[in-house]
Every structure is written in structure tokens, then in C-alpha cells.
Amino acid sequence: MRDNRFFTINKALLLGCLGLMCTAAFAGLKVSAKELNDEYVYCVGSVSKVYSTAAVMQLVDEGKVSLDAPVTDYIPNFKMADSRYKDITVRMLMNHTSGIQGTTYVGPFLYGKENAFHDEVVFDTLAKQRLRCNPGEYSAYCNDGFDLLGVIVENVTGMSFGDYVARYLAAPTGGTSTSTGDKASLIENLAPAFSADGVRFENDVIMSIGAGGVYATASDTANFGAAFFRNADELLSEKAKSDMETLWQNTDDFKDRNGLGWDSVNDREYENTEVKVLGKGGDVDRNHAYLLVAPEEEISVAVLTNGGNSTLNQLVAEAILDACLEEEGLKLKEEGTSDFDISLDIPSSYDKYEGDYVINSGLGWDSVRISFPDHEYVHVENIGPLRSGGTDYGYTKDGSFVKLAYEVADSGINDIKPASNPEVLRFEEGTDGKVYIKIERKENLPEVGVSEISTYCGEKMEPNPISGELMAFWSGVCASEYMLSKDAYNSQTFDFPIVRLIVSEDVPGYLYCVTGMGTRILKIVDEENAVAFTTIPSSRNRDLLDIKAEANEGGVTLYCSNGWEFISDESIPTFDDGVGEVNLKANEAVWFNIGETRVNTDVIVASRPEDSVVYVYNKYGEPVYSSHIIGVKNSLPMPKDGKVMFIGGSEGKVILN
């Protein structure tokens, strides 16, 4: 076993995040050992994808799996509503090029207790889903692909994925605390879960096991990372490790730079110093992780936190790596600052790029209108439902556009200058004639570091004229709000279960689907279907969503391609003084609109089944009460224009006073 050095940071001193707990571990051959006792165990989130990939690569080493064989060779019951699924290979699952839309969001992220509901629905969900592109066409992040890798491990070995990880990945690298979400209730010393304002919740239980359900200490994770050092033979052959750290493509710096399982296999910052660095981040509700490995230098750093996010963890891991490299006499090359020569004469050849675009900033989708006023600068006007204003960019001699410090309308054309650490925008025409937007930017995170981004992030929207009758139909659908109706009873999705649809006023034929996980922009097809239409060749095109609206006696039900199912507001009853008990069905939400007679009162829950949950939401759809809060009382607040929801894991009854 390699010597180890560990760092533990408690409270918020390092990252400035309220209530943050952070554990970092370092594994390397050339440092002295210092033991860290009683480490917390965290869910490592999507760092689990490196575990899943390593597990399958072991089977490749043993000749039991072929990387370029169809997935259906190992999962005969895997089917999709798109015949191209038969062309998806094992390798495509590992490098996110399968074309699968993204994530089955029914039951993967839970509170408190294990629940197999996700496993029960994922194959049914995929069987109704189309692909977003041809398999192998481009890489866009896909959780479902890694859950399928976990199934391959189970089908080939006859073991549960969790048992395989413990025996063949954790044990050989000295991991004594590594487990998986299906055994979460058995994990000792699990890091307690707190919200940003210090409220303690039941712990994250992640049932999307292959994609994000591995649990470990920072030292276990760092020692697992050390198995990717050169000449390390605990887990994989040199050929398998080389395959994992090879870029899926190396012709376009704006496309994803992932290998097999790893998010990054050629970090530009370290590449300039000729240091090979592998990286993988992971985020679930309250647990966040980053694993950073320098195979040649034999350095592995894992940073796990409760609070913050994986980008912050990455910057902490890089700071530790930089210090270790400096001890070895390796110092990163300083990048020079960029000087932008702004011209006020944009060539007329750029006129074809004027129009409406869909943009994914990384925080959700929005629509913008791009114009070139007097051919002097670019104006990007937000035309989405939030109407957040505009941004201007100056034209540079290399054909790119640099974000300006001020809008020209405010500062005047003669006073333009680049913003500090400006974003750089470029237009790109695809071989299919579609127009994409590429961006480069650096995000300064005070006291932590700088995060660099280069990616495709937008696509020009094509006209989609629809009839007045079709517009009227969808306007009627959009008149209601929609509540999540079916999911695992302890699903974290009930933290943000309300969806609103908004017909675009500026771009006919499109609508916005506003969820608690961000906004999606959909193309109206007919009186039932509105679908994702983007082909952006990067992970900004992840987690696409198609919806089908089906009218019924009570209102409208929305069926979503990721497994979500929503019922319209008019179909739910009123929660008034006459409601004294609520009958529960397994994993089906029972919703009420809070009646006037209940407003500003407290309703007491006299009894409810152990496998049940209660939420209360205000008029904005924000939870003001959740029975997932540790120590919460059984008194329910009743806000005006709010809603209350009850759900159980089995049939039962909630008694109210």
C-alpha cells in the first residue's frame, strides 16, 4: 500500500460556504504517511463513473467484454424506441457518445433509505425514448449510460455491482469504507447532510449506482485513484489505463475532452507543463467530489465535501496538486493576458448569424436574439421568460467577439472596452448547415482559483410556424401548472416538483418548460408533443427532454421522456377542514391545493406510515415544510395559495387533527 498524506478542513474557512465539511486526501509514492482516523464517508457522485468504467475494463482485460461490442450483447433486455440503439457500443457508454438523452430522473436521488424504484423504471423509460443523435456522433454527458455499465458488470459476473466494487476495486487498493447507495443504511460514519442555511436533512441515498452511487472516504477515493499510476497493477492493465485516458476526439478543442469514465484527460493548464492529469467531478444534492490523478508523477488527490460543488473541489484538488508538483521542481507555466483589438467594422458576411438562438449557460436553457447594430458590435438580447436584459460583444480581428464591460446603449460606442476576464464568443457552421455558438471564459472564484471553460453552448433556432389552432391548444396547456405525480416516495425531486409551461411570444412554435432543475426549450410538433430539438455537440446538450400532453377528465397529464409524470393543477382537490385523513398509494403523490379555511393555520399530523413523506409548498412552489428534515415537528404550516403533498412507499393512511 502506498504512503498517504491527508488534509482535513472543517467548517467554512477554505471555501467560504456556510456549513461546509470538507475532507481531502492525497496518495503518492514519495511522501511520508500520516494517518487520518474516523473519516466521514461521502457519496462521491459522478466520480462513481470512473469506478464503473474500471470495473468493465477489468472484464475487458479478462476477455469477458469487448469495448466495441453492442451493449445488447450483454444486456439483451435493453431496448429503445429508436432502432439506432442497436449500434450503441460499450465504449460509447464510457465516453458519453451513445446518443442516449441523459438521465432517467425517476428514483435516482433519494433521502434516507434505499429504494429500488429507479431500477424498476429505467429500462421502461429507455424503451420509450428516442436518441438525441447517431451513436458515436458527439459526446454529451449521459448518466443512463453508466447505469447500463453497472448492469453489464452484474450480468457478466453474476454479482451485484456494489459487491463487485467492494471486492475487486476497493479491497485491492486498501479501501475499507467504500460502498454503494443500495447499502446506504449500513454505511457507518456517513457525513451528515446540511442545507446551506444549516438545516439538517436525511442523508443522500443515490440509487443511480453505476452513474453516481459509490460512497467512500477521501482516503479510499485517493487510493483508488492511485491505481491509475504508471506501472500500478492492482486493478488494470497498462492497455486498459491507456484506453481510459485517451481523448475520444482530438480535433476540436470546444468539444468535450473526456476519455473513458474521466471528464478530463488532457487539462490544458497542465498540458502546457507536460504533466498528464486525469480528472473527474461529481455532484449529488449535498455531497460533492473531485478526483485528480497525475499518473506519471504518482499523485492522486480526492476532495469530498458536504456543501459547495465539484468545481470548488476541483480547484482545491488542483491547489494541492500544484503544491506537490512544485515540491518536485515542476512549476506551471504562467499564461499571458489576452489583448483584444476591437474593431467597429463587422464584415457583412456575419449578417447570416443574426437571429434567435437557444443558449445553455451551464445553469439552464434560455433564448436570445443576436443582432449587429450598424455592423459595429454584437447585441445579445435575452428573449426568454425571465427577460434578464442584454449583453454586448466587440468584434476582434481574429473573427471572435469579446464581451464588453458595458452595454453600448449605456456607455456609447466610443467608450467600449472588454470586460475583465471577458467571455469570448464565436460562431461555427456545422456540416449540416446548422449554426452553433462557442464560448471561452474564465470564472474567478474568490480565494479559490480560476475555472476555465471552452465549449459549444448554443444553436440557432429554425423557424417553426404553427397554426392558430395549435397555438391555442398549447396556450391552454400552459394555463395550468403541473405537479410531479409518480416517483419514489423519498425522491429528492419532490424538493422542486412543480413545472410550468410558457409559450414563446417571440419565437413562434416553441415553448419553455420551467422546472426546478432549470428551463428547457421545446419545439411544438402537434397537439400532443413538444420535443427537444438541439444538436449542440457538447455536454451543454445533456439531459434532453421530450414531453407528451394527454388530456383526460381531470385535466392534462404530461409524460416526459426522462420518466417524469405530471398532473395539472385543476385535477387536484382542495385541502379544507373536511380532509381528516389521506389514503396513500405506493409511490404516487396525493396533492391538494390549500383551501381558504386552512390558510395561516397549523395542521397536525397525528400519525403516518414510516415509509411516507409530507411536503408543504408556498405559492411559488418552494418547500416550506419537509418531513425529510431531521427533528421536524408534525405541525404543517398552511401558506396562502400553497399546496400540500403526501406520498408513501406502500399503501397506508395519514391521519390529521
Q: Report yes or no: 400 and 411 within 8 Å, Cβ to Cβ.
A: no
Output the pLDDT for position 15: 33
pTM: 0.93
User: What type of residue sits at position 402?
Assistant: V
In terms of domains, do 150 and 220 share one? Answer: yes
User: Distance between CA 22 and CA 16 in Å, rounded?
Assistant: 11
In terms of domains, do 113 and 236 share one? Answer: yes
Q: Please identify, among 553, 570, 587, the residue that sits at the C-terminal boundary of a domain.
A: 570
In terms of domains, do 348 and 444 share one? Answer: yes
Q: Report yes or no: 198 and 18 within 8 Å, Cβ to Cβ.
A: yes
In terms of domains, do 598 and 560 share one? Answer: no
**Looking at residue 38, which CATH number applies to its domain?**
3.40.710.10
In terms of domains, do 298 and 350 share one? Answer: no
Q: Cell 381528516 appears where?
A: 580
**Looking at residue 382, which CATH number applies to its domain?**
2.40.128
Tens of pLDDT, residue by residue over 65-121, are 999 999 999 999 999 999 999 999 999 999 999 999 999 999 999 999 999 999 999
In terms of domains, do 219 and 260 share one? Answer: yes
User: Distance between CA 460 and CA 224 in Å, rounded?
Assistant: 43
User: Distance between CA 116 and CA 161 in Å, rounded?
Assistant: 14
Tens of pLDDT, residue by residue over 214-242, are 999 999 999 999 999 988 889 999 999 99
CB within 8 A of 96, min separation 6: which ones? 139, 140, 141, 142, 145, 248, 256, 258, 539
Q: Please identify, among 417, 441, 460, the residue that sits at the C-terminal boundary of a domain.
A: 460
Structural domain contains residue 333 = no
Output the pLDDT for position 263: 95
CB within 8 A of 585, min separation 6: which ones? 648, 651
Q: What is the mean pLDDT of each run of 10 residues along the chain (657 residues)?
A: 36 33 56 52 97 98 98 98 98 98 97 93 97 97 98 98 98 96 94 89 96 96 94 93 94 94 88 88 95 94 92 91 86 70 95 96 87 96 85 94 93 88 92 94 76 93 96 96 97 97 95 92 97 97 97 92 96 96 97 97 96 97 97 96 97 96
DSSP E strands in 481-546: the ranges are: 481-484, 498-503, 510-515, 518-524, 529-531
State the cell numbers at 621: 412552489
User: Distance between CA 624 and CA 617 in Å, rounded?
Assistant: 5
Structural domain contains residue 382 = yes
- 3-class DSSP state for residue 302? strand
| Total Cβ atoms within 10 A of residue 334 | 7
In terms of domains, do 94 and 241 share one? Answer: yes
Long-range contacts of 186-193 (CB under 8 A, 24+ apart): 187/41, 187/215, 188/41, 189/38, 189/39, 189/40, 189/41, 190/40, 190/41, 190/42, 190/215, 191/21, 191/40, 191/41, 191/42, 191/287, 191/304, 191/306, 192/306, 193/285, 193/286, 193/287, 193/306
582: β partners: 654
State the cell numbers at 554: 381531470
In terms of domains, do 64 and 186 share one? Answer: yes
- Of 507, 503, 519, the C-alpha closest to 464 is 507
In terms of domains, do 259 and 391 share one? Answer: no
Output the pLDDT for position 432: 86
Structural domain contains residue 334 = no
Structural domain contains residue 312 = yes
**Looking at residue 609, which CATH number applies to its domain?**
2.60.120
In terms of domains, do 278 and 380 share one? Answer: no
Tell me, letter by letter, the H, E, C secondary structure of 529-548: EEECCCCCCCHHHCCCCCEE
Number of domains in the chain: 4
In terms of domains, do 300 and 376 share one? Answer: no
| Total Cβ atoms within 10 A of residue 173 | 22
Q: Please identify, among 548, 570, 592, the residue that sits at the C-terminal boundary of a domain.
A: 570
In terms of domains, do 456 and 576 share one? Answer: no
Q: Which domain holds residue 631?
A: 572-656
Structural domain contains residue 91 = yes
Structural domain contains residue 336 = no
Structural domain contains residue 335 = no
Structural domain contains residue 337 = no
State the cell numbers at 56: 468493465
Chain Cα centroid distance, residue 233? 32
